[in-house]
Amino acid sequence: MADPVSIEFLYEPDCSSTEVALARLRETCREEAHAGGIAMVEVTSDEQAAALRFPGSPTIRIDGRDIDTSGDGSERFALVCRAYRLPDGRITPFPPKELIRTALRDATRRRSVSLSAGR
């Protein structure tokens, strides 16, 4: 059986979105029967943010990939609260559950393809 996908939750301690975002992540992991844990990464300085390529809090990475692909190419890394775009175009401070779910399923699918290809 394959190892579960790795999940990182990167956050700035003073960001007001942390609790809701983490609850959404945990709930989605339960719904998707994700067996692995969540690595919590506290980001406390702009230097650390730059080193981690942290576009803002909260950031969720699954198998090293940002769940929000529009954030992958960001060149601005800092201790800021992050915004996410809903499917209808509105902005929210919380990652939408469907964005988390899609990223989790995509990572699981990529792992399955790699295993079946013998990699």
Task: Tell me how many degrees the CA angle 96-19-111 measures, rounded to the nearest 5.
Answer: 50
Mean pLDDT of 34-51: 95
Residue 2 lies in a domain: no
pLDDT given for residue 98 in this prediction: 95
pLDDT given for residue 34 in this prediction: 87
pLDDT tens sequence across 66-119: 999 875 556 789 999 999 999 899 999 999 999 999 999 999 998 877 655 555
Residue 119 lies in a domain: no
Task: Tell me how many degrees the CA angle 65-69-71 measures, rounded to the nearest 5.
Answer: 95
Q: How many CB atoms lie within 10 A of CB 64?
A: 9
Q: Which contiguous run of DSSP H or E holds residue 24?
A: helix 18-31
Looking at the 3D structure of the chain, how many domains does it have?
Answer: 1
Task: Tell me the CA distances in angstroms from 13 to 55, 61, 65, 82, 90, one per residue in order.
Answer: 15, 17, 22, 13, 25
Give the integer Cα–Cα distance in Å for 100 and 104: 6
pLDDT given for residue 111 in this prediction: 81
pTM: predicted TM-score of the whole model, two decimal places: 0.89
pLDDT given for residue 113 in this prediction: 74
Residue 67 lies in a domain: yes
Residues 6+ apart with CB under 8 A from 101: 28, 31, 32
Residue 98 lies in a domain: yes
Residue 97 lies in a domain: yes
Q: Residue 92: beta bridge partners?
A: 84
Q: What confidence category does residue 36 fall into, taking pLDDT thresholds of 50, 70 and 90? A: confident
Domain interval for residue 73: 7-114
DSSP assigned state of 23: H
Mean pLDDT of 21-45: 95
58, pLDDT greater than 80: yes
In CATH, what number is assigned to the domain containing residue 85? 3.40.30
Residue 20 lies in a domain: yes
Residue 1 lies in a domain: no
